[in-house]
Amino acid sequence: LQVNNNGVVSFGTMVPEFTPEPFPLPGHRPFVAPYWADVDTRLGGNVFYRQSRDPQLLARLAQDLAPAVPPGDPPPQPTWAFVATWDRVAYFGAASDKVNTFQAVLASDSITCFVLLNYGDLQWTTGIANQGDPHTGLGGIPAQAGFDSGDNVHYYNVPGSRTPAVQSLSHRSNLGVPGRWAFRVDHFEATEGPPETP
């Protein structure tokens, strides 16, 4: 697992790209993108990550993930978690103190696997290398959110990705909890239809 500065957790290979692309990506690169954008921690913020088997964390995760499972299916009981947090991170070329806070959690019981995306305050969508405004952090090519299994079949673009609406992820959800999105990823289940192409 690799935690990339630009809001991506990847598997086996780094993701140096700072311009978000819609899923699926070429090249069979599986990754989870809570907020793929041009993060610049030199201008503010930190990225933390850890693996955990802490029973308290796993119990809380089981609770948070329960709404992602269809009625009648066994409730999630993760035995392992990987948590990556981007805490108050700035954007490339920032001429303001706008920052974003978001998190990706991978949880598994070694059979079922879930991805949980959590969003705090999102104040910007784009760095200046992607034609964003240095003062607002908006415009240009906004952030991408979702996951890509790398097989060109199982992927999900969270609605609003690469549009200004991506900033509202902290107010939206597919679980009924603002700022929280969850997906079962061992066998693909999107909890709502894929976004329609205009």
Task: Indicate the length of the chain as a whole number.
Answer: 198
Per mean pLDDT, which range of 50-54, 57-61, 159-163, 188-192 is the poorest?
188-192
Q: What is the pLDDT of residue 198?
A: 37
Task: Note the pLDDT tens digit of each residue in 114-162.
Answer: 999 999 999 999 999 999 999 999 999 999 999 998 888 889 999 999 9
Does residue 190 carry a pLDDT above 90? no
If you search the block for the tokens 């140096």, which residue do you land on? Answer: 16
Question: In angstroms, rounded to a whole number, what is the distance separating the alpha carbons of residues 169 and 81?
Answer: 23
The three-class DSSP label of residue 10 is strand
Question: In angstroms, rounded to a whole number, what is the distance separating the alpha carbons of residues 104 and 135?
Answer: 27
If you search the block for the tokens 């906004």, which residue do you land on? Answer: 142
This prediction's pTM? 0.91
The three-class DSSP label of residue 68 is helix
% of the chain surpassing 70 pLDDT: 94
Does residue 186 carry a pLDDT above 90? no
Residues 170 and 103: beta-carbon distance below 8 Å: no
